[in-house]
Amino acid sequence: MQRQNSLPYDQSAAAEWSAIVLATPEPCRAALDRLMTRDGEKLAHYFYEHMLSHPQASVFLSAEAVHQRLHQSMTRWLREIFRHPMDDTAGIVAHQRLVGEVHARIQLPVHLVSRGARLLKHHLHLSLAGEFSDAQLCAQASTYANGLIDLALELMSVSYERNSQREARTDEAYRLFAIGQNVGVERERQRAVLMEWTNEVMLALHRAGPAPLPALRKSEFGMWFHHKAIAMFEGDSEVEHIVDIIERIDNVILPLLRPRDGAAGEIDRVGDLQDEVDNLKFLLATLFERNQEAENGRDALTRLFSRRFLPAVISREINVSQKRKSSFALMLIDLDHFKRVNDTHGHDAGDLVLQQASSLLLSSVRNGDFVFRYGGEELLVMLVEVTQESALRIAELIRSKFETSPFSLSQGRSVSVTASIGLALFDGHPDHQYLVKRADAAMYEAKQSGRNRVVLAP
């Protein structure tokens, strides 16, 4: 539907692009083409040098990303829009829309792109002054450059707006879905893990040795709260209070509690800890009680997260990782020879295998992790707050479980199923599709190289 709606605009934009080109004298177009062929890399360097100098740019861009990928992309873009003769106007228009989609996915502010375009046009005008001895031709070349850059920016902005609106709708749908989970079950689960953490701290206080006390932020409860609950209860005032309590416990109370420190005020500090935990429980209960139970948005067969929420979840995790300087990983899992299960035992048997595979994954990951039905026999896991070593360890554990666990069918039958796993760690790239594609490529390599293995994306 979106593609059909965009066709008239694309055709109009292509006609406008052609009109700008045809209205410009051939010497001016040829001069811009020569300039980009000769100085395109310098102009791209100038663009990103000034872009990176903006304080907001560091959230979306890094010097490494610019050096490895974006500098070359910008050079190609400049040479593309000023190519002479211009023989694929429709393709150029489509490319500007694609660039706008990428900007929307990474939530790159429009004002940063506009600022870069403004500085680029200024630099181009200075460069063109040295290309012409005729002032009129120089002015026409500047008008030509302005027109194409402005139209390219307009095309990007239209695509940016459309995709941003779609992302916002998906993000809101995910939030509503998250709110609608089984509140009673989730409430009891989180009360239990919070109690486990409290008991762990109390036991650590009575053990000998200088080992630090377990941080609430790094506990099962802490990871669930920061990676799931904040999305579930976004906008509720209790969320900020709980964040403050977690930080106060980890940064103020726990550092004063040391195993066997023998300090006179130790009992008072334990009391302070219990008071904060009680406050946390009260705020959490308030959040749960405010939200109604309405289970929807799960995959009908596996009861895992629906794939439609994947962009919203990954985008949130990218923001969390950038703020907290942490990392996460995607694990894309394909059940080996799944078609053989369906062909040999029937589709009902295949459904049973998928349901058991989903249960296996859910029992193998932590509270803060996410498990999705990605499509067909493909499942996707997002592991939060992991290093490369710990992600590989979890992926290998899951692969081993698939290999050694019989999958039950009807009438007492069972079948063996292995899994090919592609693992990709977040490397700072702000586009969530880029990370999914890396995991997908790694999974494909695992299948091509013999199946039943884990492959780490480069």
Helix H or strand E segment including 406: strand 406-408
| 3-state SS assignment for residue 428 | coil
Token look-up 């509140």 returns 183
Q: Decide if 186 is catalytic.
A: no
* 416: Cβ contacts below 8 Å, ≥ 6 apart: 403, 406, 407
Catalytic choice (101, 276, 377, 385) = 377
Integer Cα distance of 445 and 453 in angstroms: 10
Token look-up 């289970």 returns 295
Taking the CA of residue 4 as centre, how many other CA atoms within 13 Å lie in the half-sphere pointing to its CB? Answer: 1
Integer Cα distance of 54 and 48 in angstroms: 10
Burial 184-195 (b: 16+ CB within 10 A, else e): eebbeebeebbe
DSSP string, 238-269: HHHHHHHHHHHIIIIIHHH--TT---TTHHHH
* 25: Cβ contacts below 8 Å, ≥ 6 apart: 137, 140
- Strands (E) in 228-337, as ranges, are 328-335
Measured N-to-C along each axis, helices 2-22 and 89-105 cross at an angle, to the nearest 10 degrees, of 130
Active-site residue set: 377
